[in-house]
Structure formats: structure tokens, C-alpha cells
Chain A
Amino acid sequence: MSATAPSRQLILDRISAATQDAAKDAAGRAAAYAALPRGYARRGLLNKEERVELMIERLREYDAEVVESLPTELPAAIEARLATSGRRKFVVPTGVPAEWGAFGFDWKLDHGLITAEVEQAEGVVTAATCGIADSGTIVLHHTAAEGRRILTLLPDWHLCILLASQVVETLPEYFDRCKQPPALVTWISGPSATADIEMTRIKGVHGPRFLHVILVRDESSAETYRSAAHTELRPEKSGSARIR
């Protein structure tokens, strides 16, 4: 903007006068950056099974509801979740696999829905890019299967399909998986919350108030999985006791 151009130069001149001690060229800067201390943990300590269990435990601490499923049972698991949600109208990003389709529900694909249409939806079903077990975080890069940002924002109920192979233990492991920095990211750690009134944690302010996760055991052996139907019977017990 032409009007602010003088200020741009003014500020940059002030900064360069104030930082004469710094590396002047790009190469020097890159070398200084490469030499920064990075002594923190990059890799986690858990094995595959423990990592997934920790992810589930952390999600449950945030009041997210988690069930597990095998890849072959996923459509049935999705249908079961939708059926027990007490909701009928769902939106879905265009990129979700066709076999997820749950019949008997108002299942609207997001071909550029207007805001009011998304607002009217009672729930949304999406994929995810990554799960970070250490903090119970689900990462969305808003790809075709994860949908535009509005989709996972306005509907009050979010069902997220997370693959076990997408779960990492530490935050740095997630960044290692990002080959290119993504343009859009939403890190979700439990449903929206506030503690602004007397530090009392209240679930659900503006984002979805209900977060459901189906953890798909896409890489575990047959013996270790617990199917969705099995978990359904005892939703509170699985997961949390095992890790300690």
C-alpha cells in the first residue's frame, strides 16, 4: 500500500539500526538458524500399541468420545455412531471415501454449501491428517477428506476418523511428517472450552460441543484390536486403565 510505504521503510531502517550485530546475508542467517540448540525430545518412547492407547486416553480426558474399529468395520462403526448421536442431518467433505456412506441419514456432500446450509447441519464426519498422542491433538490440514474449515466449525457434533497409522507420540514427530508446510492447519485438542468464569472448565463455547473419534486399527495385528461393536458395550473402560 502506497500510503504505508514510508512507514515500511522507516520501520525497517529502525530495525536494521537496532540489529547491527546480526548476520547480514541469507547464508549467515541460515547457518545461525541451523546452529540453534534443539535438545528437546523429537522421538517418543512408546511402542505402536502404547502410542495409540495414550492417544485414546488423552482424547477421553478432553471429554471426546472414542471408539475403535477395524478398517473393514469402519462403515458400520460410522453408521452406529450416527445412529446413537440422535441427529439426522450431516455434512461431509467431498473427499471422503465413498464406502463411508451411511445410508438412512441426510448425508450432504460439501459442494460449496453456503454458510446457512452448513449451520443447519447437526453434525459433520471428516478424516484427519494426524493425531498427536502426547497432547491428544487431532490435526486437520483441510484436505478434500477433511473439508473446509467451516465444516468442522459450525455443526455442533464432529465425528473424526483417525487412523492408527496417523498417530504419532510427540509434536515434533508431527512436524517431521510435514514434508511441506501446509497452508491451512487446525490443531484440535478436545472440544471447545473456556475457563473464563472462575477458572471452571466449561465444555463447548463456540466450536463443536461434541467430539467423537473413531480410531481405525489399520496397522495392528488381529489379536490386539477391539472391534467397534465390542467397545460399544463398555465405552468407558477400554484404554484408560492399560497405560499406567
Chain B
Amino acid sequence: MSLSAASHAELDPRLAAPFPKAVLPVLRNPQLRKNVAHAIDVIQAKRGKLVAEKRDWQELRTAASAIRAHALENLGAYLEQFEERCTAAGGTVHWAADAEEARKIILDLLRQQQATEVIKIKTMTSAEIQLNPCLQAAGVDVFETDLAEIILQLGDLEPSHIVVPALHVNRSQVREIFARRMGLKNLSDDPKELTNAARAFLRQKFLSIPTAISGANFLIAETGSVAVVESEGNGRMCLTLPRTMITLAGIEKVLPRFQDMEVMLQLLARSATGERMNPYTSLWTGVTEGDGPQSFHVVLLDNGRSSILGKEKQRQTLKCIRCAACMNTCPVYRQTGGHAYGSVYPGPIGAILTPQLMQMKHAQSLPFASSLCGACYEVCPVKINIPEVLLELRSQVVDQERKQAGRIFDPMYLGLRIANLIFAGAWRFHAAQWFGRMGLKLWTRKDGWIHSLPGVGGKWTQTRDLRGLPDQTFHQWWAKRAAQSRQEGK
């Protein structure tokens, strides 16, 4: 069940192709685009209906945004409180400054348990730190238990969405993967039969594997509790049956109090899957005698988050509760699907999160993978102003590029420098206008339109005509008109 390293390069920001290049295979794959569009249409329709029936939706968003912002402003204190309460309840809290340290902590814990197998609840954070390949390499067999994750793991595929990671795979592709990997020759492509196959495949794993790894949707500072939001019950299996539970959570996941869940739970399922509430949400506090794992560890992961925290405009990125509403509504994501973003976090939130978690140079095409239409901001349940962060990151990319040596030979850079010079002075601007008009006159036909241009300009006129420039500019016309009226006034 090893996952090839090659397939992982696709979603490793350090190795992935830039967005405009990575997007090409998707745009040329009609089946993939159809699968993505279908899934998104279904979720969007359900979401729209359920959000509309909620009379206090905007008030909930405002509260959620404020709670998350407050938690981030006081993150240090709330994390220490979480650690204290979780420890008091029998849990052990570990701190990981980066991905490597988190992998090492988890691997050491597994070695202490002498674990050779582990069951996992879907967690994007573990994908972020590339935990599975690391565990496999260390001889630990990893079994994903979320249906979508099983499809991806058995099919050796990559996630393309943070809530429904296999939305780009259709039923006949799932049938093929299950038939091949589970040895079920007579499997049909009926989703019910496929789901039952997964149930049977995993049941024994749940009952026999004594160690589980999860992510966390929320950490509660007040109580030291952890909450996991899910649909299938695989989460509950992993949280209840094993002897040892390891939870990997980003440091930003903390909520001040238990009661704050009343806001988050009303927003999350409606935004994510278009349900009033997801089928199962579990909350647990350390270790409960006689119920569930008797050994519980939380690994708090920084991995770039604290550096985002320090930047005023960018901090809001960390408010994210991973509902994926932004990608479901994004006109770019709808066309491209998730893989083109070259990260486990795709869509608008990925376009701002990935460049900030990584060094910018690994993902500098992402802030430009957006039309800035603002749909993501409008649907975001915690009101992250994604366009604002995109613009901030774009300016950083440009600032960085400006400093690069050899930049002055870039035609774009050169053109913009010259434009800057021309626009800076009135006479230079007027002169340029005059030259431009004279030049374009050569190609303007009698009907007043330019039908074809030479050189680079030809790219424009290939698909559309350009109106010829008028004889005088507005400026000239205005000056003339003013002079005339002065004369008449005399």
C-alpha cells in the first residue's frame, strides 16, 4: 500500500508547477471538469437553500469572525490554557515548531506503542506535513478511514478539495479502484454498493488496530477539549475504539470557550456540505476512564502559522474553519479543480494560505490565480477578506521580484519602467500620445477600425477589432472648447 513519491510532488508546493502551467492538464480533461462542476453544483444548491432559511446568518458570521479574531489575538494565553486543562484531564500536549518536528513527535509516539499499523481520520493538517509517506517509510501501515480518503489512498490519487477530497473521481473510477485494490470483481458502480464495500473493508481495521491519528476542528481552551466534525462515523470509530489517540492540530484551531461551538456548529455544516448539521460531531476531554482511548496526545503545530499571525492584513487567514465554501463558489476553482493549486489547500483559501505557510517563492503564482471577484469573501462564514489578502500577497510578490538581479532585462519590467517614466510628466505623456496616434493611423482603415496589427499587437487583433484613435484627445478638445468660450465671452 505504498504511495509513490512521484504522485506527491503534485501537491508539494516546493515541487509543484506554477498555477498557469499546472492548470493545463485539467482544462484539457473534460471528464475531470465535469466531475468537479457536478459536485460543486450539488453542494452550492444545498448550501444556498439552507443559508437562506437562516434568519440570523449575517449575525452568526459576525460573531464567528469576532470570536476567531479574538482567539488569534490572545492565542498564546488560550493555547497555554488549553494545554493546562487538557493535561489536567489526562492528555499529553506536544509542541511542534515545524512539519519535521511534528512528524518526529508522531513517529516517536508510534514507536513507543510499537505500532505497525495506524488508522486515520481525514486531516488536512497531516497532509500538509506529509505524514503518510513519512510513516510508510518508517514501516507503519497507514489506513485512511474517510471514504474519500480511501478512494484516494487505494487509487494512489491526490485530494482536490478540503471537504470532499475525491470529488474529481466519479463512480466508475471508484468502482475500478475498489475492484482492483479490494479484490472485488463483481462490484457494481452503485454508490451504495461501493460504500458498503468500504464499510466491510474497514470494519476489521477499526476493531483491531490500537492506534489512531486525527486532526481537530476545534480546541477548546476553557476545558482542554477537542472537537471533530464528520459525516460517516469513521471519526467516532477512530476516537472510541483504539487504545491510543494522537491528534494533530494547527495552533490556530483554538476557541476560547465551549459555548463558542454554538456559533461554529451552526455555520460549519451549512457552509461545508449544505446540511443543517453534519451527522456526527464528537467532543472529548483528555482521557475518560472506561470510555475510549486511555492514552491521548495532542500535537500543536506551528509550521509557519505564527509568522502569519504577526502580519496585520494577513492574520485573518488563520480564522479559517476549513469549510471550503470559498472553493465551492470560486469561478476559477470551478474550472480548474484543486490540483492546479499545487498544495493540499486548494481554492481561494489555498491561494492565500499556501504562499504564507511556505516561502513565497514556492507558490508565488497562487495569489494571481483569482479574478478578485470577491465571491469567496461573501460566503466565508468567518468573514476572511480573501481578496484583500490576495492583493497584499501580490504586492509582496512584485516587491520581491523587483529586487531580483537581471530583472531589468525582462520585457514586462522594462515596459512598466518606461510607462512609469512617460506617465510621470505631462509633456512626455502628450508626446507619447501623439506618437501613438500617428503610428496607429497607418493601420486604421477607412471605416475607422483597426483590423490587424503587426507584432505583439497582432495577438489582440487576431480575435477582435480595435477602434482607431480619434483625431484629437479629450484634453485637446477641452482646451480648445475653453478657448472658444473665452473668445465668445469677450
* Contact in complex: A206, B239 (CB < 8 Å): no
Residues of B within 8 A of A208 (CB): 233
A21-B73, A149-B236, A186-B282 known; A37-B288 Cβ under 8 A = no
* Contact in complex: B276, A184 (CB < 8 Å): no
Residues of A within 8 A of B147 (CB): 194, 196-197, 205
* Contact in complex: B92, A19 (CB < 8 Å): no
* Contact in complex: A41, B309 (CB < 8 Å): no
Is A87 engaged at the interface, CB distance under 8 Å to the other chain?
Answer: no
Question: Which residue among A12, A21, A136 has the maximum number of chain B CB atoms within 10 Å of its CB?
Answer: A12
Is A1 engaged at the interface, CB distance under 8 Å to the other chain?
Answer: yes
Residues of A within 8 A of B258 (CB): 175, 178, 181
* Contact in complex: A189, B278 (CB < 8 Å): yes
Residues of A within 8 A of B95 (CB): 4, 7-8, 10-11
Q: Which of A12, A37, A186, A190 contacts B236 (CB 8 A)?
A: A186
Bound complex: CA A208 to CA B279 (Å): 11
Among A28-36, A70-78, A96-104, the stretch in contact with B: A28-36
Q: Chain B's interface: helix, strand, loop or mixed, by majority?
A: helix
Is A86 engaged at the interface, CB distance under 8 Å to the other chain?
Answer: no
A187 — nearest CB in chain B belongs to which residue?
B281
Q: Which of B35, B79, B92, B164 contacts A15 (CB 8 A)?
A: B79
* Total count of chain B residues near the partner, CB < 8 A: 99
* Contact in complex: B279, A192 (CB < 8 Å): yes
- Chain A stretch 32-47: residues in CB contact (< 8 A) with chain B: 32-33, 36-41
Is B70 engaged at the interface, CB distance under 8 Å to the other chain?
Answer: yes
Distance in Å: Cβ of B356 to nearest Cβ of chain A: 13
* Contact in complex: B278, A33 (CB < 8 Å): no
* Contact in complex: B92, A1 (CB < 8 Å): yes
Is B263 engaged at the interface, CB distance under 8 Å to the other chain?
Answer: yes
Q: Which of A37, A119, A175, A207 contacts B63 (CB 8 A)?
A: A37
B60 — nearest CB in chain A belongs to which residue?
A40
Residue interface bits B149-170, CB-to-A below 8 A is 1, else 0: 0010000000000001011001
Residues of A within 8 A of B105 (CB): 1, 3-4
Among B199-207, B334-342, B449-457, the stretch in contact with A: B199-207
Distance in Å: Cβ of B153 to nearest Cβ of chain A: 13
- Chain B stretch 266-291: residues in CB contact (< 8 A) with chain A: 266, 269, 273, 275-286, 288, 290-291
Is A60 engaged at the interface, CB distance under 8 Å to the other chain?
Answer: no
Is A17 engaged at the interface, CB distance under 8 Å to the other chain?
Answer: yes
Residue interface bits A168-182, CB-to-B below 8 A is 1, else 0: 000110110010011
* Contact in complex: A149, B291 (CB < 8 Å): yes
Bound complex: CA A32 to CA B66 (Å): 10
Q: Which of A1, A134, A149, A188 contacts B276 (CB 8 A)?
A: A134
Distance in Å: Cβ of A1 to nearest Cβ of chain B: 6
Is B295 engaged at the interface, CB distance under 8 Å to the other chain?
Answer: no
Q: Which of A11, A116, A184 contacts B288 (CB 8 A)?
A: A184
A29 — nearest CB in chain B belongs to which residue?
B74
Question: Which residue among B147, B259, B277 has the maximum number of chain A CB atoms within 10 Å of its CB?
Answer: B277
Among B25-33, B37-45, B420-428, B481-489, the stretch in contact with A: B37-45
Residue interface bits A122-142, CB-to-B below 8 A is 1, else 0: 000000000010111100001
Is B471 engaged at the interface, CB distance under 8 Å to the other chain?
Answer: no
* Contact in complex: B275, A16 (CB < 8 Å): no
* Contact in complex: A183, B166 (CB < 8 Å): no
- Chain B stretch 224-251: residues in CB contact (< 8 A) with chain A: 225, 231-234, 236-237, 239-241, 251
Bound complex: CA A163 to CA B155 (Å): 46
Q: Which of B70, B76, B145, B284 contacts A32 (CB 8 A)?
A: B70
* Contact in complex: A7, B101 (CB < 8 Å): yes
Bound complex: CA A215 to CA B15 (Å): 57
Q: Which of B108, B236, B256 contacts A33 (CB 8 A)?
A: B256
Residues of B within 8 A of A23 (CB): 73-74
Distance in Å: Cβ of A120 to nearest Cβ of chain B: 11
* Contact in complex: B231, A149 (CB < 8 Å): no
Is A229 engaged at the interface, CB distance under 8 Å to the other chain?
Answer: no
A16 — nearest CB in chain B belongs to which residue?
B76
Distance in Å: Cβ of A50 to nearest Cβ of chain B: 16
Residues of B within 8 A of A223 (CB): none
Residues of A within 8 A of B286 (CB): 183
Is A243 engaged at the interface, CB distance under 8 Å to the other chain?
Answer: no
* Contact in complex: B39, A198 (CB < 8 Å): yes
Distance in Å: Cβ of B97 to nearest Cβ of chain A: 4
Q: Which of A41, A150, A185, A188 contacts B279 (CB 8 A)?
A: A188
Q: A189-B275, A199-B39 are in contact. List 9 more A-B contacts (CB 8 A).
A: A32-B73, A37-B66, A115-B241, A134-B276, A183-B284, A195-B273, A198-B170, A200-B191, A205-B232
Name B's A-contacting residues (CB within 8 A).
35, 38-39, 42-43, 55-56, 59-60, 62-63, 66-67, 70, 72-77, 79-80, 89, 92, 94-97, 101, 105, 108, 145-148, 151, 164, 166-167, 170-171, 174, 191-192, 194-195, 198-199, 202-203, 206-207, 220, 222-223, 225, 231-234, 236-237, 239-241, 251, 256-259, 261-263, 265-266, 269, 273, 275-286, 288, 290-292, 300, 302, 306-307, 309-310
Q: What are 8 sample pairs from A and B whose C-beta atoms fall under 8 A apart?
A: A22-B74, A29-B74, A182-B283, A183-B89, A194-B232, A196-B151, A200-B171, A205-B195
- For the complex of A and B, list the 4 residue pairs with the smallest distance between their C-beta atoms, beginning with the closest: A207-B233, A18-B310, A206-B233, A181-B258
Name A's B-contacting residues (CB within 8 A).
1, 3-4, 7-8, 10-12, 14-19, 21-23, 26, 29, 32-33, 36-41, 58, 62, 112, 115-116, 119, 132, 134-137, 142, 148-150, 153, 171-172, 174-175, 178, 181-200, 202, 204-208
